[in-house]
Amino acid sequence: AAAVARVLVFGFVAEGIYAQVQGLRKMDATNYMSLRPLMAQYVPPGSKVLGATNFWWAMPDTDFRSYYMLYYRTNPRTTDDVTDLEGYMQEFDPDYVVLNFVARLFLPSVNPVLNAYMEEHGEQIAFIPDKTYGFIEIWKLDR
């Protein structure tokens, strides 16, 4: 039991050190103030945007909804008012979809349907490599 406890404590300490090192590495991360003019090149103020949650701060002049809402509204385990992707997109009626690497990983069950929807109803207008987010993918949807 003592050996297991030592291994667990060592694991917790190692994880903490790793998190601290990662935090220091993020000091050169993309900041939101530099993202604002970049995003504004593609997404004008007043637009309705469905996107990765962390981009909300970079687009304060938009009607922004997190892509988490897409997950929650299409999952019967999280709401009584279930809809499908098409229904949610008609309900919110976004002008743009802005995703990053993490958003693409988070939505694996929705991605094929979301990809098909975006291909059918819009076009990708930007794919921006980014050291912090992996990439920023911006789609303009037809309204």
- With a cut of 60, say whether residue 47 has pLDDT above it: yes
CA distances to 4, 10, 47, 64, 67 from 51, in Å? 43, 38, 12, 7, 5
What secondary structure letter does DSSP report for 77?
T
Q: Once rounded to an integer, what is the mean pLDDT over residues 61-69?
A: 91
pLDDT value at residue 32: 67
pLDDT value at residue 54: 84
pLDDT value at residue 106: 73
What is this structure's pTM? 0.74
**What's the pLDDT band for 126 if we cut at 50, 70, 90?**
very high
Q: What is the pLDDT of residues 2-23, one digit of tens each?
A: 888 787 777 767 776 766 666 5
pLDDT value at residue 7: 79
Residue 86 CB-density burial (10 A; 0-12 exposed, 13-18 middle, 19+ buried):
middle
Q: Once rounded to an integer, what is the mean pLDDT over residues 52-70?
A: 89
List the 48-51 sheet strands across, edge first. Answer: 63-66, 48-51, 96-100, 134-141, 122-130
